[in-house]
Structure 1
Amino acid sequence: MHRKRSVKLLRDMAKVWQLYVLMALPFAYIIIFKYVPMYGAQIAFKNFVATKGIWGSSWVGFSHFTRFFHSYEFWNIMSNTITLSFYQLVAGFPFPILLALSLNYVMHDRFKKLVQMVTYAPHFISVVVMVGIIYQVLDPRIGILNVVMGWFGVQPVDWLGKAEYFKSIYVWSGVWQNVGFSCIIYLAALAGIDPALHEAAVVDGATKVKRMWHIDLPGILPIAIILLILDVGRMLEIGFEKAFLMQNPLNLRTSEIVDTYVYKVGLASAAVNFSYSSAIGLFKNAINLVLLLVVNRFAKKMGQSSLW
């Protein structure tokens, strides 16, 4: 019986072999670049020495984790990372939805395409160029923001030199850069809503706001919940490049996050310590996994869409 099922399965797979060929490349990518490197995660529990290799290095248990937890910068780094992540999530999550809902009701095709192009384009700017733009716009002497403020008699402000402004600059520049690209998914979800619902609502005299609230939002709620779960699962994955490039000695108090700390202490210092860096990275990923599981469980319990 088992053999017959296996033969039937092979025959069914042979009928659509093209699909399995297409699936083979991304599957191989995940295995090679996501699962195989997990083998090296064990150096977080060892005193890794390159000449001895992973297996030859001595086992030290949780000593690298303990070192990080007892570091005098631990609470400041975690506070900065969590605050910036939460700020980014709260500020960045609703705007793609609002943009998608607005574009969905634009009747003039040319204007709609113009708005889409203007909002999508910043996404393709590299991080280095993006930070360069931020420096130019916020420059204390020639930055356009300070020039405009000077017209109204306001003294120039060194925006990137003040630690309290770092998080807002980081988050809102990111919202501007990614809002257009992020709304593509919501526009696709809105396109899948049955037009008959809108037609019936118009006949009943519903305004556009009521149609958004009672038809569009419930229609895109499942995909919004899934994206929210994924975003929460990446809470501590803020990104190294942008934060590092925006840092300077004046704003370091609020700009130092886990990723930049790992680079400076574990990799860029005179005593390179791969094990310490790996321990911090593993701790960060463990927190992300816990958040993902908790939020997914909560969404499932509330009867909403979930990852599994």
Structure 2
Amino acid sequence: MELGLVHQLFGAARSAAGERLYEVRTCAPAGPGLIRTDADFPVGAQHGPEALAWADTVLIPASHEEDESLTPGGLPAPLARALDAAAAPESLTRLASICTGAFVLAAAGLLDGRRATTHWLSTDLFARTFPSVTVDPDVLYVDEGRILTSAGEAAGVDLCLHMIREDHGAAVAADVARRTVVPPHREGGQAQYIQRPVPVGVSTSTSETRAWAEERLATPLTLSELAARASMSVRTFSRRFREETGLTPMQWLTRRRVDRARELLESTDHTVDRVATEAGFGTAASLRQHFVARVGVSPGAYRSTFRGGRG
């Protein structure tokens, strides 16, 4: 699944003219050939680790039988050399992992001093094996710039869509999501999938309130209003919200408003002031502040990149 979803999602990304936006190739540390899997079929890789030298992005899927036995510096020499070269300061290559593929990046020393995630069943082992990595067990993925990690298998979908969105904008990512029949944004982190007791007959989810808020991003929304909508106290609502999403209600609301602003900047000719109003920021200054903090560029620069050439 981890290997296939990379080809499916990046392979489905198209420009406005219908051209493929990515070329996806599969390589194996030991060189071209058949690779054994835990299914009843092998995978044929046509490239060896030398392919990493020309890749713009390197994605490492999980190899469950081997990943969790890795220790710092324990990678096969050809793979270690290829990853070191890809991660060199002069290289612009982006590296990412899906599920326990994070063990590979950590064993190469590429996650030292960084925040990362992996499958929630493996986070304790990961933290013990690589104490120099800050492990976040609750999120679906972590973006540390050039190096990204994701949680369990399906979180690889979220990570790939995030990367496509960062490369080519929200509209392209949404189109890929539609083609693949998955949501362009999945709410919450993997914390919601960790088994925990739930009181019988009591609904404690904040999902309905999140859906309600999504329809009202342009209006001022307070924490008290959100809690009242969910029929919870502010304290209970805030605690449950963080358990389900990994964010505070206000952090989540700001992210959704930034996402809405991105969509408007790509799909309309609205002024920045109007985008700020419709996205719920009120003023252009507030939009710019939150947009730069979240996206890394100003609204104007974002529009120039993702709308300027579309005509």
TM tier, smaller: under 0.3
TM, length-normalised to structure 1: 0.23
Higher strand share: 2
Q: Which has the higher contact order (CA 8 A, sep 6+)?
A: 1
Question: Please, what TM-score do these two structures have when normalized by structure 2?
Answer: 0.23
Structure with a larger share of its residues in helix? 1
